[in-house]
Amino acid sequence: MIGIVDYGMGNLHSVQNALKRLEIDHFISERKEELATADALLLPGVGAFKDAMHALNKDGMAQFIVDEVGAGKPLFGICLGMQLLFEESEENGLTDGLGLLPGRVVRFPGITADGTTYKVPHMGWNRMIIQQPDSPLLQNLKTDFVYFVHSFLVQTEDRTVLLATADYFEEVPAVVGRGHIFGAQFHPEKSSDAGMEILKNFGDYVERRQKDEAI
């Protein structure tokens, strides 16, 4: 059972509809007591990093997520939810994130080193470049094109957390993770076959962990 975290800034129903199509058991809740019963957490997000962290910190949801992940519960962050997994963001002033993965969220500069300007946000279909094909999220993908909409990207010196990247005038972390923590910068629920396969892989991963723990 996957608990979708409702903190007022997530595209909840599109994610919920995708999980319904995949027949993955789930529920949406803003209550920590209910989310504590879930086998895994899904953290969506649309909007500004600072506002999102304010919402998560307001009722202790941020610390709850950190504690649940620390106790071994899988977590999947989507779009802004992925960015929140990292240490900090420069958006609208420096703001601490959940600190579950190493790195900082910065704005696309909109200009390359040789002076070429480019459009921000990074919007539309782009190809993932798989960095760690053994990741449970990236198994058996039939296509690698996914749908991005973002003006900020993660920068990290720890390449071990980069499961897949994309190229948009510079390297863009597309799928990140470590252990039972995962994130996707793009919207899986809007990414046709590849996105649905990634969501199904997360559901399968959670189910396998539950079976292993039951043995």
CB-based contact 191:120 (threshold 8 Å): no
CA distance 86 to 96: 8
Residue 215: pLDDT band (50, 70, 90) is: low
Domain spanning 2-214: which superfamily? Class I glutamine amidotransferase (GATase) domain (3.40.50.880)
Phi–psi pair at 66, nearest 5 degrees: -60, -45
Residue 175 backbone zone (phi > 0: left; psi -120 to 50: alpha; other: beta) = beta
**Residue 60: Cβ within 10 Å count:** 11
Mean pLDDT of the chain: 95
Phi–psi pair at 161, nearest 5 degrees: -90, -5
pLDDT per residue as tens digits for the range 142-176: 889 999 999 999 999 999 999 999 999 999 999 99
Residues assigned a catalytic role: 79, 187, 189
Domain boundaries, the chain: 2-214
Rounded to two decimals, what is the model's pTM?
0.95
Closest CA relative to residue 74, chosen from 195, 196, 198, 209: 209
Mean pLDDT of the region 32-59: 96
